[in-house]
A and B are shown apart, each in its own frame.
Chain A
Amino acid sequence: EVQLLESGGGLVQPGGSLRLSCVASGFYFRDSAMTWVRQTPGKGLDWVSLISSDGASTFYADSVKGRFTISRDDSKDTLYLHMNSLRAEDTAVYYCTRDIEVSYWGQGAPVTVSP
């Protein structure tokens, strides 16, 4: 069974930083591209970032480019999202998802950016 377990969410002040982690199990992590998707309170879904299976290629939404960094540690079956210069509009639930097709989702990590 595919499982994705996010952690690291919380409350942070504007301009602050946070690192989300996602531990994967139930599939061969190093063979899979991985994606972060976020959902703002009461609203729809927004794709945030993707990293290729070999980690050589990364892609970002314009809204986070230059502030967020996606990375992976295949030895730990773990995906990361490093978030810097956080803004109020980054407040959302962040989901770790598997592959470019966004086939499986974690339970989500809430991030709140507020003074």
Chain B
Amino acid sequence: DIQMTQSPSSLSASVGDRVTITCRASQGIRNDLGWYQQKPGKAPKRLIHAASILQSGVPSRFSGSGSGTEFTLTINSLQPEDFATYYCLQHNTYPLTFGQGTKLEIK
């Protein structure tokens, strides 16, 4: 199975900050990666697909980059509604695997 190592597991930041979350795959997955945001009691919502393509309707302060084994999600100018848990998912190889999640909290 492909392991997705996501870091950090938690992160404290302030409104207006820029934050970066990283996912590392245990083997190359091309750009077959998505990023998701989940708020308490809600289903996850996809933000980014194909590693760097913004989902329609998602604010442009979110961006993704990477290919192969290293991927990043960057959020510029954090807004109050961005405090949530973020996950990456590889869909290159079965079984599909998620990162462990990053909980983004208000400092």
Contacts and interface: CB of A to CB of B under 8 A. Distances in A.
Interface of A: 35, 44-47, 50, 59, 61-62, 95, 100-108
Contact of B34 (A61, A95, A101): A101
A15 B95 CA distance: 25
A42 to B, nearest CB: 11
A103 B100 CA distance: 19
A44 B34 CA distance: 15
Contacts, number: 49
B98 A108 contact: no
B87 A59 contact: no
A62 B43 CA distance: 24
A35 B101 CA distance: 20
A92 to B, nearest CB: 13
Interface in B52-107: 55, 87, 89, 91, 94-101
